[in-house]
Amino acid sequence: MVFLVVCWVVTIICAVLGFLTVATGIAEAKGAPQQAAAAAMGVAWAVIPYCFTRAVSAIQREVRDRQRTRRCPMCAELIRGEARVCRFCRQELTSDAAPVLSE
């Protein structure tokens, strides 16, 4: 969680650097190719850290979701840890994952 916050801070700093790169690069450019290069550098500064941080965020969410799951003892599908009924086979479950046989 701390790592994700650090990633977002770095992403924001890089976005500001990207904006400055575009602004100064275009102001100092002597032609269209240099302006295009400055714009590309600025976009890269902003977009690459953003994509990295979004990927870190998605991976952390995926890991967190997997830690909250368990296998249904009847059908072996992954279900949420706090589930009382399996969403795949409709089997009632006790809190320790042992099946409660209906009927």
Tell me whether residue 22 or residue 72 sits nearer to Zn ion (CB atom): 72
Tell me the window of 8-16, 38-46, 48-56, 72-80 that interacts with Zn ion (CB under 5 A).
72-80
Helix (H) / strand (E) containing 81? none
Tell me whether residue 51 or residue 100 sits nearer to Zn ion (CB atom): 100
Cβ 22 vs Cβ 38: under 8 Å = yes
- Name the residue type at position 51: C
Three-state DSSP state, 1:
coil
Asked if 83 touches Zn ion (CB under 5 A), the answer is no
Asked if 93 touches Zn ion (CB under 5 A), the answer is no
Asked if 89 touches Zn ion (CB under 5 A), the answer is yes
How far, in Å, CA of 26 to CA of 40, rounded? 11
- Residues in touch with Zn ion (CB under 5 A): 72, 74-75, 86, 88-89, 91
